[in-house]
């Protein structure tokens, strides 16, 4: 199948001056910004000006050229190139006031592009007026006037420049007018908030500046004031920044602030950047050897700067997203490397890539979560707490972007949650019963008509008991989900924290029903609900860890203690060659005994009359992370063999993890012939339970709650659905986990209550 060249029409108003088949691109500013204003009106204004000689359209085209810094490039048909094309092809039209640069129906933008023209304009013809400081003919006032136009090319009015028309810095009128006092050196500088520029200059105003003077006969005239725009580029060269005035290209029209051309996609949206006249100077030169105060025409030198209007938070968001996103990639690579070692696979295959993407999804979800919560709290705190207005709420486009970030965080966190859930319900678990038979008994042998000695069987009930306790702690959490949901709902709906999310300046928690109630901001709703959820959850976790586990009940440590009292060890494999070991071998030698002997054993242990429980003599370490060798894994897979034989052939040694290994969550030493048991005082085997994944569960529940609320704007519905999904996944985790426990430990599921 071949390719065909297809001839398509450009925009209806396209002017083809190059006779090529390439349509012109929308005018692109110097910061890789596609201006919506230029894209909409550039070619239509040029067409109306060229075809119909429409005065307003010609003025609008000229304004766009000025907005583009009067820059000209012969190879690009931008605003100034189109203006020049029309100017060059309307030579038959009359000029205005005999100025060859000022064509009828066209604005006067340039003094021409001939080299050496600027010195002629600036120092050839003196102004036909005199200035004096004293005497009867005292004249120290420079009377500047300007013809002003709006961005669409409509003439607005003639106005004097007094009163700070061309001065952005605020001051008293007397001080502002001092700028036009002949012989006075005037300087003024200030800092202006971007928010003020956006408020005061929704659209740019353009000025053609003139100097008003009187001749000897007291007749009033105006003189066009030339402009030296330092940002002007002629064929990509900043000619007006050259030290030689012979290379300058003088212009006429100026503006102060342009908040329009920096808008992308939508003219109602906040601009991406604002172009501001950051330097304006008015210079006057005396005619050499003058005795009467004669001067050459004044020169306005102007320089513009592009100010990035994207609020500091959005810039910080992009920086944070880039930095944290890079760290997320690094973290995911380390996790993938650790996973490869734990599964004993040196090859990089499709499974490795999928695993990396899953790890990256979880880490990137945390990045989005941190950024959205931080940004939301920024807007909530600074907008609601400010006294002098310096921060406004984001515009709808920014809010949509924020909601997209929240949605991405939820989707990625849901993927991580499901991955952890599947990993937990598919772990390998095995119970090792250390109990020894208590002698032999005479036992009738069916079919043989006699009796013989048989070993007393070890009771299975201790194994059933441990299996039930493991089954119970599978979904134990550090917070109470029902209490969490109800408490968050109480503070949001009853106490009134939801009123902080209203789009007004009030920080009151209550609103009068008779007063106007502003709509809710989705960013503020997210910030309020996330803050409430996190604070209540953290308080629960602190209470659980500091008080409840220490003084009431610690189910994880109780399970380890139960294993030791039951004389049963637990062997967990979360990966093919990595897992956890809970050493439950009783220090008393046996656990299948009566109540009296059991109490005696407990008393002896409390009084330190027996050895310690640890796997290593004279230690208390009962929990270990284990990196198993391939031989040990093969023995586990051949579990049908006798347990004693399996255990005797499992050669291992015990060591502490290095600090860097703990930080990175991976093992540097690869088990070859011997398995490695790492001392684990942190009970990290809880990572295969809900208990050890509280952070993931907490963030997932929070994001689920917030996503439902952002979609429905209803905290009650969000709370109900959040609790419902918690119970559904808890039921799935319990049910499937129980089946996995029964299949892996050979414990009949009917005994798992």
DSSP string, 262-291: T--S-TTSPPSEEEEEEEEEEE--BPTT-S
Residue 648 has pLDDT above 60, yes or no: no
Please provide the DSSP assignment of 162-200 as one string. Answer: TTTTT--S---HHHHHGGGBTT----------HHHHHHH
Residue 645 has pLDDT above 70, yes or no: no
Q: Which of 326-330, 464-468, 524-528, 639-643 has the lowest mean pLDDT?
A: 639-643
Residue 529 has pLDDT above 90, yes or no: yes
Contact 43, 15 (CB under 8 A): yes
Residue 315 — very low, low, confident or very high, per pLDDT cuts 50/70/90? low
Q: Rounded to whole angstroms, how far apart are CA atoms 28 and 2? A: 34
Residue 23 has pLDDT above 70, yes or no: no
Q: Which of 43-57, 111-125, 702-716 has the lowest mean pLDDT?
A: 111-125
Residue 228 has pLDDT above 70, yes or no: yes
Q: Which of 66-75, 134-143, 654-663 has the lowest mean pLDDT?
A: 134-143
Q: State the first-to-last Cα distance of the chain, in angstroms, to the nearest integer.
A: 67
Residue 14 has pLDDT above 80, yes or no: no
Structure tokens at 314: 């959005």
Residue 520 has pLDDT above 50, yes or no: yes
Confidence (pLDDT) at 711: 93
Confidence (pLDDT) at 357: 96
Over residues 370-392, the pLDDT tens digits come to 999 999 998 898 888 877 666 77
Across the range 205-211, mean pLDDT stands at 95
Contact 419, 696 (CB under 8 A): no
Confidence (pLDDT) at 130: 79
Residue 24 — very low, low, confident or very high, per pLDDT cuts 50/70/90? very low
Over residues 143-199, the pLDDT tens digits come to 999 999 999 999 999 999 999 999 999 989 999 998 888 888 889 898 888 878 888
Across the range 432-449, mean pLDDT stands at 66
Over residues 534-565, the pLDDT tens digits come to 999 999 999 999 999 999 999 999 999 999 88
Residue 48 has pLDDT above 80, yes or no: yes
Residue 32 — very low, low, confident or very high, per pLDDT cuts 50/70/90? low
Confidence (pLDDT) at 289: 82
Residue 699 has pLDDT above 70, yes or no: yes
Collect all residues with Cβ–Cβ distance below 8 Å to 169 and sequence separation of at least 6. Answer: 188, 189, 190, 192
Residue 422 has pLDDT above 90, yes or no: yes
The vertex-365 CA angle with 362 and 367, nearest 5°, equals: 115
Confidence (pLDDT) at 599: 85
183 versus 717: which is more confidently predicted? 717
Question: Domain spans of the chain?
Answer: 28-103, 566-686
618 versus 24: which is more confidently predicted? 618
pTM of the model: 0.65
Q: Which of 46-60, 111-125, 467-481, 537-551 has the lowest mean pLDDT?
A: 111-125
Please provide the DSSP assignment of 286-354 as one string. Answer: BPTT-SS--BPPPEEEEEEEEEE-S-HHHHHHHHHHHHHHHHHHHHHHHHHHHHHHHHT--S--HHHHH
Residue 58 — very low, low, confident or very high, per pLDDT cuts 50/70/90? very high
Residue 137 has pLDDT above 70, yes or no: no
Across the range 6-15, mean pLDDT stands at 37
Residue 725 has pLDDT above 60, yes or no: yes
Residue 78 has pLDDT above 90, yes or no: no
- Identify which of 51, 35, 353, 323 has the alpha carbon closest to the alpha carbon of residue 204: 35
The SS3 call for residue 145 is: strand
Query: What's the whole-number average pLDDT of the chain?
Result: 84
Confidence (pLDDT) at 126: 87
Structure tokens at 482: 């029902």
Q: Rounded to whole angstroms, how far apart are CA atoms 186 and 175? A: 9
3-class secondary structure for 29-55?
A: ECCCEECHHHHHHHHHHHHHHHHHCCH
Q: What percent of the chain has pLDDT over 70?
A: 89
Q: Cβ of 390: how many Cβ atoms within 10 Å?
A: 10
Confidence (pLDDT) at 449: 55
Contact 677, 614 (CB under 8 A): no
Q: Rounded to whole angstroms, how far apart are CA atoms 45 and 86? A: 11
DSSP code, position 495: I
Residue 30 has pLDDT above 70, yes or no: no
Residue 77 — very low, low, confident or very high, per pLDDT cuts 50/70/90? confident
Contact 419, 365 (CB under 8 A): no
Across the range 659-683, mean pLDDT stands at 83
Q: Cβ of 129: how many Cβ atoms within 10 Å?
A: 18
Q: Rounded to whole angstroms, how far apart are CA atoms 467 and 746? A: 10
Q: Where are the alpha helices (DSSP H) in 386-442?
A: 396-424
Over residues 568-579, the pLDDT tens digits come to 999 899 988 889
Confidence (pLDDT) at 29: 46
Name the β-bridge partners of 307. 274
Residue 490 — very low, low, confident or very high, per pLDDT cuts 50/70/90? very high
Residue 443 — very low, low, confident or very high, per pLDDT cuts 50/70/90? low
Contact 180, 145 (CB under 8 A): no
Residue 260 — very low, low, confident or very high, per pLDDT cuts 50/70/90? very high
Residue 641 — very low, low, confident or very high, per pLDDT cuts 50/70/90? very low
Residue 8 has pLDDT above 80, yes or no: no
Dihedral of alpha carbons 187, 191, 194, 197, sign: negative
690 versus 597: which is more confidently predicted? 690
Q: Which of 72-76, 158-162, 733-737 has the lowest mean pLDDT?
A: 72-76
Over residues 452-471, the pLDDT tens digits come to 666 667 788 888 999 999 99
Could you give the dihedral angle defined by the CA atoms of residues 633, 639, 641 and 644, in that order, rounded to the nearest 10 degrees?
70
Backbone angles phi, psi at 119, to 5 degrees: -60, -35
Structure tokens at 308: 């990035």
Residue 1 has pLDDT above 50, yes or no: no
């Amino acid at each position: 199948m071949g390719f065909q060249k297809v001839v398509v029409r450009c925009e209806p108003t396209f002017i083809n001056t190059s006779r090529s088949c390439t349509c012109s691109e929308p005018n692109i500013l110097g910061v890789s910004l596609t201006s919506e204003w230029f894209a909409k009106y550039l070619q239509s204004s040029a067409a109306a000006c060229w075809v119909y000689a429409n005065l307003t359209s010609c003025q609008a085209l000229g304004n766009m050229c000025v907005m583009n810094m009067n820059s000209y490039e012969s190879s690009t048909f931008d605003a100034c190139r189109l203006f020049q094309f029309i100017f060059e092809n309307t030579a038959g039209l009359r000029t205005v006031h005999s100025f060859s640069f000022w064509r009828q129906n066209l604005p006067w933008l340039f003094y021409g592009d001939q080299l050496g023209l600027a010195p002629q304009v600036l120092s050839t013809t003196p102004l036909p007026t005199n200035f004096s400081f004293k005497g009867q003919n005292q004249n120290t006032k420079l009377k500047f006037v300007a013809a002003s136009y709006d961005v669409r090319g409509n003439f607005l009015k003639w106005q004097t420049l007094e009163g700070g028309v061309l001065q952005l810095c605020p001051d008293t009128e007397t001080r502002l007018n001092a700028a036009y006092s002949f012989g006075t050196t005037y300087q003024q500088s200030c800092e202006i908030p971007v928010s003020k520029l956006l408020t005061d200059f929704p659209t740019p105003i353009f000025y053609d500046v003139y100097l008003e003077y009187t001749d000897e006969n007291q007749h009033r005239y105006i003189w066009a004031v030339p402009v030296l725009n330092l940002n002007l580029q002629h064929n990509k060269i900043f000619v007006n920044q050259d030290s030689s005035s012979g290379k300058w290209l003088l212009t006429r029209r100026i503006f102060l602030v342009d908040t329009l051309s920096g808008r992308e996609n939508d003219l109602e949206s906040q601009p991406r950047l604002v172009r501001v006249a950051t330097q304006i100077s008015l210079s006057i030169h005396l005619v050499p050897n003058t005795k009467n105060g004669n001067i050459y025409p004044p020169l306005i030198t102007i320089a513009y700067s592009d100010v990035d209007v994207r609020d500091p938070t959005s810039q910080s968001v992009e920086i944070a997203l880039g930095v944290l996103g890079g760290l997320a990639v690094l973290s995911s690579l380390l996790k993938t490397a650790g996973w490869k070692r734990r599964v004993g696979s040196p090859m990089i295959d499709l499974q490795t890539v999928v695993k990396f993407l899953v790890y990256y999804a979880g880490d990137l979800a945390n990045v989005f979560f941190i950024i959205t919560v931080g940004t939301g709290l920024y807007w909530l705190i600074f907008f609601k707490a400010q006294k002098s207005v310096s921060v406004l709420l984001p515009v709808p486009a920014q809010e949509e972007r924020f909601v997209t970030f929240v949605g991405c965080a939820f989707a990625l966190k849901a993927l991580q949650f499901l991955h952890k859930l599947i990993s937990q319900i598919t772990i390998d678990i095995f119970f090792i019963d250390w109990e020894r038979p208590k002698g032999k008994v005479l036992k009738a042998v069916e079919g043989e008509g006699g009796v013989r000695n048989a070993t007393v069987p070890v009771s299975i009930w201790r194994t059933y008991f441990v299996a039930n306790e493991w089954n119970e702690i599978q979904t134990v959490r550090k917070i109470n989900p029902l209490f969490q949901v109800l408490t968050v709902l109480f503070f949001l709906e009853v106490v009134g924290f939801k009123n902080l999310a209203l789009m007004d300046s009030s920080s009151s928690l209550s609103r009068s029903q008779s007063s106007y109630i502003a709509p809710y901001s989705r960013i503020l709703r997210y910030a309020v609900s996330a803050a409430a959820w996190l604070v209540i959850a953290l308080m629960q976790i602190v209470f659980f860890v500091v008080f409840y586990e220490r003084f009431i009940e610690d189910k994880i440590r109780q399970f380890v203690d139960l294993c030791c009292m039951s004389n049963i060890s637990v062997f967990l494999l979360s990966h093919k060659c990595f897992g956890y070991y809970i050493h439950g071998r009783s220090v008393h030698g046996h656990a299948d005994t009566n109540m009296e002997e059991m109490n005696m054993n407990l008393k002896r242990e409390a009084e330190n009359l027996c050895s310690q429980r640890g796997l290593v003599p004279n230690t208390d370490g009962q929990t270990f992370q284990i990196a198993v060798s391939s031989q040990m894994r093969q023995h586990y897979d051949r579990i049908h063999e006798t347990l004693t034989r399996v255990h005797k052939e499992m050669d291992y040694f015990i060591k502490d993890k290095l600090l860097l290994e703990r930080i990175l969550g991976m093992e540097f030493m690869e088990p070859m012939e011997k398995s490695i048991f790492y001392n684990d005082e942190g009970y990290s085997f809880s990572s295969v339970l809900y208990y050890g994944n509280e952070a993931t569960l907490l963030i997932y529940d929070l994001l689920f709650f917030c996503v439902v609320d952002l979609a429905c704007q209803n905290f009650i519905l969000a709370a109900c659905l959040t609790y419902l999904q918690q119970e559904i996944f808890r039921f799935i985790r319990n049910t499937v986990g129980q089946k996995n426990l029964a299949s892996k430990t050979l414990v009949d599921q009917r005994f798992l209550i």
